[in-house]
Chains A and B, each alone.
Chain A
Amino acid sequence: MTTVAAGWAIGAAFLLGALTLFAAGLDGYATARLEGSARRGAAGPLFEGARLMRQRARMTVSADALLWRIGSAGLVVTALMMVTVVPLGRWTIFDVGVGVVWFNAMDVVVWALVWLVGWGPNSAHSLVGGYRFLAHGLAYELPLMFALVAPAIAAESLRVGDVAAAQQGLWFVVWMPIAFLVYCVGVVAFAVWGPFAPALGADLAGGVGAELAGPDRLLFLAGRYALLAAGAAFAVPMFLGGGAGPVLPAWLWAVLKTVALLAGFVLLRRRLPALRPDLFMEVGWLVLLPAALVQDLLVAVIAIWRR
């Protein structure tokens, strides 16, 4: 694993930006097809961006402007922080020994940020949305943590590059599928996406985002796509063999796998009804958490047996 010069961080940011645009464009296309206006669906996010750039910044009465803005702008920053530890083929920006923990710490930061977006505008709908996200968080976060433990045990390292290298021959997704599924649920949940969007629900007039307008809204929306992209990118070294693959160079395989998983996440959004936080709480604690723990146990036993 080669650590590249810090300047390449700009390149990584561009790559994340491209993935974000891809996700938004794909979602725009899928949505437009359903609404019967396939015309320019994929360009929708660009028009939306222009619209929000043109819109006036908006404040509500007695808003907590600072915390509100930290929340809405913070999601993009958090997604950028996540991808710093994701290796692209054999290059990495930040080859930290506890990369897996770093990613996990960043996804916990999302709790604070989404809640702050709900808290900031001093609006009942937004605040209820913020609490809905925390309720989801209580149910998805622990299973997500234990799902991340499984590849780390198998690779006997918390360094993301080592985890990717440990999958030569057999990808982790093959013999720890439950951990992979639980991880995917976690990614969709921390991006407030699809079935995990009650925090932004139509029943709350947009919930957390009910009062957002202009550039603040643009950053918040982009942040959700960026989180989804970062989550998909991190799954590649953790479960999908990193850059392993025939013919093509390793970095291209890493990008292709990320795009495929990201497309899956995006297209999933419209298919499932929302998981209300009170219902998902049962699923998280009674199904996902025990399943992830059993998976960890199995992986640990196999890891010891193989030594």
Chain B
Amino acid sequence: MGVSEILARYAVQRAHVLVVEVPGCWSLRVALERQVLSRGWQLAESPADADVLVVCGQPGPELGELVDRVWDQLPGPRVRLGLPRIEALDGALDAIQAGLVDTANHRADARQRPATPGMDHGDMDHGDMAPHGIPLAGGGEDRDGLEMDVLHLPLGPVLRHWPAGLVLRCALQGDVVVGAQASILDGGHVATRATAAKDDARGGTNAWLCDQVCAVLSLAGWPDGAASARRVRDALIDDGSGEATRPALERLRREVFGSRLLRWSLRGVGNVAAQGRGSRELPEGVVGDVHDRLVRMLDRALAGQLATPVTVPALLDHPAALVGALPDLVTGLDLAAVRLLVASLALDTTPTREQVAHG
């Protein structure tokens, strides 16, 4: 056995997987993530960090094109897989593993790719204003009225701890967002719903809430807290209807609520006032800072886990409506606050039944 085979065999023990979630395919993404982690593999944070690209669901044309561009950024050896339905998950990781150790195939793949990346623009006439095809940053007045470069940075859709299909096109000065546009890729329409588990089961909704809690805690840089939230989420998925998971959920709430450092670090971040800017009426469930919304999510999950569920006002009646309010909410915040704010809003980008029917 040659050195490269030995290296390959060791390397696949710790493959890093970049997951793309199509709106509406939440439970498929979570099922994949659980399999990835239980195998000792990792979830990649960026294309550079990934060996494997997995698309959960059937992407529309806009998302499909972006996934192709992300695929170009994987360093290689790389493997790509589409999971249109949850049934496709069986044996998928074994197939990925087999693909990853196929060294000859990866050599051929590497030979086809250019050694240095280029911007794919078609016309090569960049001129001085666009070195290597990247236009120079424009200027603009910053918060203090001084001239400062403006950089355009899209957040999403291929980003961990981010609502599926959401794209937030930010204009940045330093790391402060000075303007933004929000949209859901492919108009929020998907051809098929991968699963509808979340709508059907009470435990499903609560598991979804715990997943949002996990996202907020991950973004707050608290690995222990995020791992607790993930464990509770998984328990809710496996045993959603029973009361057995209630103590675990209570423990999670105590842990989150009891961490003074977390409270201190999230205090006042991403504050949403009751009366939104531009006299836009925002739902009561989102008012407050990130910590308020975090605790509210856990309270809501706890209430839903009672034998006789008490009615708790939904965080959002019309999640899609809040996407329209995002640009106002994020303007003036730095990137860290924007990420925490968006995660704490628990945006559900799943297309509603009416949208699917009309689409």
Contacts and interface: CB of A to CB of B under 8 A. Distances in A.
Interface stretch (A58-66, A145-153, A227-235, A297-305): A58-66
A34 B227 contact: yes
A51 B39 contact: no
Contacts of A54: 4, 7-8, 11, 77
Residue among A56, A57, A198, A210 with max Cβ neighbours from chain B (10 Å): A56
A128 to B, nearest CB: 5
A47 B45 contact: no
A209 B133 CA distance: 24
B15 A195 contact: no
B151 interface: yes
Contacts of A203: 161, 219, 221, 335-336, 339-340
Interface string B256-290: 00010110110000000000000000000000000
A280 B7 CA distance: 42
Given A47-B10, A50-B10, A203-B340, A37 B75 contact: no
Contacts of B241: none
A202 interface: yes
Contacts of A212: 48-49
Q: Give chain B's interface secondary structure class.
A: helix
B35 to A, nearest CB: 11
B51 interface: yes
A306 interface: no
Interface residues of A, number: 56
A210 B259 contact: no
A217 B44 CA distance: 13
Given A44-B40, A273-B265, A210 B116 contact: no
A36 B46 CA distance: 23
Contacts, number: 152
A304 B264 CA distance: 41
Interface string A206-217: 100111111001
Contacts of B12: 51
Contacts of B117: 59-61
A274 B16 CA distance: 23
B224 A270 contact: yes
Contacts of B16: 51
Contact of B14 (A51, A269, A275): A51
A213 to B, nearest CB: 4
B91 interface: no
A296 B230 CA distance: 45
B191 interface: no
B175 A128 contact: yes
Given A47-B14, A50-B11, A198-B336, A56 B222 contact: no
A245 B45 CA distance: 45
Contacts of B218: 202
A109 B345 CA distance: 40
B132 interface: yes
B223 A34 contact: yes
B99 interface: no
A46 B151 CA distance: 39
Contact of B75 (A34, A128, A214): A214
Contact of B221 (A58, A59, A131, A202): A202
Contacts of A195: 221
A135 to B, nearest CB: 10
A47 B8 CA distance: 9
A286 to B, nearest CB: 14
A275 B76 contact: no
Given A47-B11, A213-B49, A35 B133 contact: no
B118 interface: yes
B171 to A, nearest CB: 12
B222 A274 contact: yes
B321 interface: no
Given A35-B227, A47-B11, A48-B14, A272 B222 contact: yes
B225 interface: yes
Nearest to A125: B46
Contact of B262 (A31, A34, A36, A273): A273
A266 to B, nearest CB: 12
A56 B75 contact: yes
Contacts of B175: 128, 131
Given A32-B40, A35-B37, A56-B76, A201 B336 contact: yes
B296 interface: no
A212 to B, nearest CB: 6
Contacts of B118: 61
B119 interface: yes
Interface in B71-121: 75-77, 110, 115-119
B221 A55 contact: no
B48 A211 contact: yes
Contacts of A131: 174-175
Nearest to A43: B13
Interface string A191-203: 0000101100111
B131 A276 contact: no
B138 to A, nearest CB: 15
Interface of B: 4, 7-8, 10-16, 37-40, 45-46, 48-49, 51, 75-77, 110, 115-119, 131-134, 151, 153, 159-161, 172, 174-175, 217-225, 227, 230-231, 259, 261-262, 264-265, 335-336, 339-340
Given A211-B48, A213-B48, A214-B75, 19 more contacts: A34-B224, A34-B227, A40-B13, A47-B11, A47-B13, A50-B7, A50-B10, A50-B14, A51-B51, A59-B116, A61-B118, A61-B134, A202-B160, A202-B219, A205-B160, A210-B49, A271-B224, A274-B265, A276-B336
5 contacts: A50-B11, A58-B75, A202-B221, A273-B217, A276-B336
Q: Which 4 A-B pairs have the closest CB atoms?
A: A274-B221, A50-B10, A273-B222, A47-B14
